[in-house]
Amino acid sequence: MEIQETGLKDCLIIKPRLFDDSRGYFFESFNQTTFESKTGLSGNFVQDNQSFSSYGVIRALHAQKGEYAQAKLVRVLSGKVLDVAVDARKGSPTYSQHVAVELSAENKLQLYVPRGFLHGFAVLSETAEFFYKCDNYYNKESEQGVMYNDPTLNINWVIPQEKQLISDKDLILNSFASLSNE
């Protein structure tokens, strides 16, 4: 496992060690002991989630707050996405900054998104299957989000505006400036 810094504290790109031969390939997608020793971060994941989406889907910027905040380890099982993490930790030196990383089945990269970050992605391939591990359970009452096209964040989602597919729920999210971070 190779760890790459993103410029945002504790938000990391993880490149697995790939073993391939004439039969195909194998890699260890997660090992808690290795993760913790290489990053100094907890790898105690308790919930796995998976989604399937078509080209142009933008799953906007979401997080959970308070005692239900979640760190996530995300990757793509098929297809390709632009994965975005925004530092929403008030007082952080990289507060309001974001990182955008292309994750694909081909490159097998993973992104570790710390607690206190917003997270979203845009599907760049015909379809994509997205998988993520969470270190805390989902709690609907603790959910918060920011509109995908917030002018303060100025995220380039790569998808042309006329091809963007955004849920009704994501179209009415608040601005980054109004975000509460408990």
Instruction: List the catalytic residues.
Output: 62, 132
Give the ranges where the chain is alpha helix by DSSP (H): 32-39, 168-171
- DSSP code, position 34: H
Spell out the residues 6+ positions from residue 177 whose beta carbon is closer than 8 angstroms to its own: 152
Alpha-carbon span 110 to 53, nearest angstrom: 18
Secondary structure tally for the chain: helices H, strands E = 2, 13
